[in-house]
Amino acid sequence: MVNRQPIIAVIGAGIAGLEAASQLAALGYKPVLIEKAPVVGGHVAEWNRLFPDMTPAEDVLQPLLAGTAKVRTLLNTEISAINRLKDEYNLILSDGSSLLCQAVLFATGFHLFDASKKEEYGYGIYDRVITNRDLEQWFNSRQDARIDKPRAVGFVHCVGSRDLKAGNPQCSKVCCITAIKQAIEMKEEFPDAEIYCFYMDLRLFGKKYEDFYIRAQRDYGIHFIRGRISEVGEAIDNRVVVKAEDTLSGKPVKVTLDLLVLMAGIVCNPDAQQYAREIGVAVDEDGFLKSRNNLAAITDSSRPGVFFAGACTGAKTVPETLAEARSAALAIHNYFNSRG
């Protein structure tokens, strides 16, 4: 007989939390979504279209919202503390209440790397230097004085990814394909603009990614320059002057751009690290939460009753995140079944 009474705290109402909560509710459990933001949807809710089919982000979110319509959802709610009891967890919430639950699912997602830490790129210093998130918000709102009919746009891959000096050695996985997506979108928006992508190497592992990359070159004429940018300065007309090395031709490159987009990498949500420490869940060397087994049990933590879904264990694409959320729901179901 399956115990359908347990309460499961799902921390984070991004797409991982929403999908997992939806699946758990369908299985008869009582998930509680806890979200510190005023709305659900996480990063995807801020995005406009998704690679590689240019799917509107809204199309991904709507089924998830429908699936969680009856799930208890606490918005604007932070977790002040988590206490580990014998077989349960007690969450102290920012409104002063507490939530006693029998399982905890971390769906805490990721943070974008703070691009201003790469000082040489001038984010937060030069007006025309923006991030991938800023550009995506412009795709949504069309309101950003910095983007005014640009004739030359650059994209910098791996900003705060694969960068030991920035304290973030891992690959953020989705930035290469996101840069290509955004480069194509900018070319569609501004056909006369020259678009440059500065990359270390391109990691296009997913379904249709390579096709997307070839289209960017063949159909959109986007220039791919293999080399890292050494410095960014500002010209007298507020345009940005970019210096880089083209390592394929072995020559330095200097180009003046109307807009420079930094592809900020993915780092673990620091809140997740804090919660993990409070209940004795391990954090891996890369700063993300540590799975019990990276091959066979990616959604399991080392602690009974604590599970993971999505980017809290590392950079993930949307389909990977959704698949992992379903997997986590099943793992939780099996956990309660095994306890009788």
Q: Under the rule (CB under 8 A), what is the footprint of other proteins? A: 116, 119-120, 122, 124-127, 231, 233-236, 238, 241
Query: What would the two tokens of residue 201 be?
Result: 């190497």
Between residues 142 and 165, which has the closer beta carbon with respect to other proteins?
165
Between residues 253 and 298, which has the closer beta carbon with respect to other proteins?
253
Query: What would the two tokens of residue 5 be?
Result: 């009474």
Instruction: Tell me the longest C-alpha to C-alpha distance in the chain.
Output: 73
Q: How far is the CB of 119 from other proteins (least distance, A)?
A: 4
Query: What would the two tokens of residue 114 be?
Result: 């703070």
Q: How far is the CB of 115 from other proteins (least distance, A)?
A: 11
Query: What would the two tokens of residue 261 be?
Result: 């987009």
Residues 6+ apart with CB under 8 A from 104: 8, 9, 11, 82, 89, 91, 279, 305, 306, 307
Which of 114, 116, 81, 121 lies closest to 97 in space, CA to CA?
Answer: 81
Between residues 116 and 302, which has the closer beta carbon with respect to other proteins?
116
Terminus-to-terminus CA distance in the chain, angstroms? 7
Q: How far is the CB of 285 from other proteins (least distance, A)?
A: 23
Q: How far is the CB of 302 from other proteins (least distance, A)?
A: 36
Which of 173, 152, 122, 157 lies closest to 227 in space, CA to CA?
Answer: 157
With contact defined as beta carbons under 8 Å apart, do 307 and 332 qualify? yes
Between residues 63 and 124, which has the closer beta carbon with respect to other proteins?
124
CB count within 10 Å of CB 219 equals 10
Q: How far is the CB of 263 from other proteins (least distance, A)?
A: 20
Between residues 56 and 124, which has the closer beta carbon with respect to other proteins?
124
Q: How far is the CB of 231 from other proteins (least distance, A)?
A: 6
Between residues 208 and 254, which has the closer beta carbon with respect to other proteins?
254
